[in-house]
Structure 1
Amino acid sequence: MEKIADFLFEAGMLKRIPRSGYHFLGGGKESVAEHSFMITTIAFALSRMDREVDAGKLLAMCLLHDLPEARTGDLNYVQKKYCSADEGRAIDDQARGLPFGEEYKALVAEFNACETRESKLAKDADQLAFVLDLRTLIDTGHNGADKWLAVVMERLVTDTGRQLADAILARAWDDWWLNGYSE
């Protein structure tokens, strides 16, 4: 039981670790935990759009995919050119002694391999969270965010992910409350 309690305390560290890629945008910020929440929420929607996926596996993958960053930190694309994190070692150490350790390791490995339907949707959820953030930054006047959008859109691997991205881009970040809620 102590190992599970420690695992949960460690997961809580993600609330304190900032995502590093936003430094290059000049706007926006989030913690790794906020990112994990958002992509898990997106994955829930994707699992309802594609009923052939194992929704539980998809959600678990999204929830856990960045947990190694509690030990390694969040390296952005530039940092990864010069530094490397031993994610495998971090995962092995985190999983050791957990009754669900092997399942955790398998979920992160499947996410990283991006070969199954669930892992492809999980990767798309990861990118769609960024599409939402970029759309918000564009709509709120942050210059430069539009340059990143084409790059992020190219990373989408499923038709379902591309359809949702198109729907996101067809809306303004505040349409959800301006068109109905404020009436």
Structure 2
Amino acid sequence: MKNIANFLFEVGMLKRTPRTGFQFLGSGAQSVAEHSFRTAMIGYALAQLDGQADVARVLQLCLFHDIPEARTGDLNYVNKKYVQVDEQKAVEDLARELPFGEDYRATLVEFIARESYEAQLAHDADQLEMVLSLKEHKDLGNRYADEWYPFSRLRLKTEIAKELAETIWETDSSKWWFDEDHQWWVNGRSGK
């Protein structure tokens, strides 16, 4: 049980591990845990929409995909040009400590290989999380989001993810809560 407690503390470290790409975007901040949570929700939605994928497997791949960053930190695309990180060692070191270490290792191997359809959906979920973040920043006036979007879009592999990316980019990020019921926003009661 001690190793499980340590694992859960390690996963908690992702709440305090920043995603580093936002420094280049010039606005925003996000932890790896925040990113992983929304990635999992996106993965779930993609797998449900697809109808053929193993939903539980996609969720597991999404939830586990960035756990090594508790040990390595998050490296953005600029960092990766210059810094070599031994993510495999981070995976192996944690896997040795867990009673489900082989499952953890296999999950990361599958995610990295991108050979299974579920891994492709999980990778697309990872990229769509960035697309959502970019759209939120674009809607708040960050002009660089428009420059970043095409690269995120080109990383998508599945047709369902490509379609969702286009819809995201065309949708105002605040309209989900700010509806047409003007009376509500005036006096807190529906005019309908």
> TM-score, normalised to structure 1's length?
0.97
The alignment's TM-score, normalised by the length of structure 2, stands at 0.92
Partner SS state of residue 160, structure 2: helix
Cα distance in structure 1, aligned partners of 2:159 and 2:104: 27
* Amino acid of the structure 2 residue aligned with 1:23: Q
Unaligned runs of 5+ in 2: 185-189
Which residue of structure 2 lines up, in the alignment, with residue 165 of structure 1? 165
Q: Deviations over 1:112-168 (max 9, x none)?
A: 111110000000000000110111111111121110011110000000101111121
Once the two structures are superposed, residues 35-85 of structure 1 have per-residue CA deviations (whole angstroms, 9 ceiling, x without a partner) of 000100101111110111111111011001100011001111111111111
- Describe how 1:16-27 pairs up with structure 2 within 5 A: 16-27=16-27
Q: Which residue identity does 2:105 align to in structure 1? A: K
CA offsets 1:6-63 (integer angstroms, 9 cap, x no match): 1000000000010001111001210000000010010111111011111111101100
Q: Tell me the SS of whatever aligns to 1:177.
A: coil
| Alignment partners' CA distance in 1, 2:103 and 2:116 | 16
Specify the alignment match of 2:97 in structure 1: 97
Aligned to 1:71: 71
- Equivalence map 1:48-63=2 (5 Å): 48-63=48-63
The aligned counterpart of 2:136 is 136
What letter corresponds to residue 159 of structure 1 in structure 2? Answer: E
Give, in whole Å, the separation in 2 of the partners of 1:158 and 1:47.
11
Q: Percent identity?
A: 50
- Could you tell me which residue of structure 2 aligns to residue 115 of structure 1? 115
> How much does 1:171 deviate?
0.7
Distance in 1, Cα, partners of 2:79 & 2:177: 38
The Cα shift of 1:101 comes to: 0.5
Instruction: Report the residue type matching 2:53 in the other structure.
Output: V
What corresponds to 2:37 in structure 1?
37
Which stretches of structure 1, 4 residues or longer, exceed 6 Å deviation after superposition? none
Matched with 2:187 is none
RMSD value, Cα: 1.2
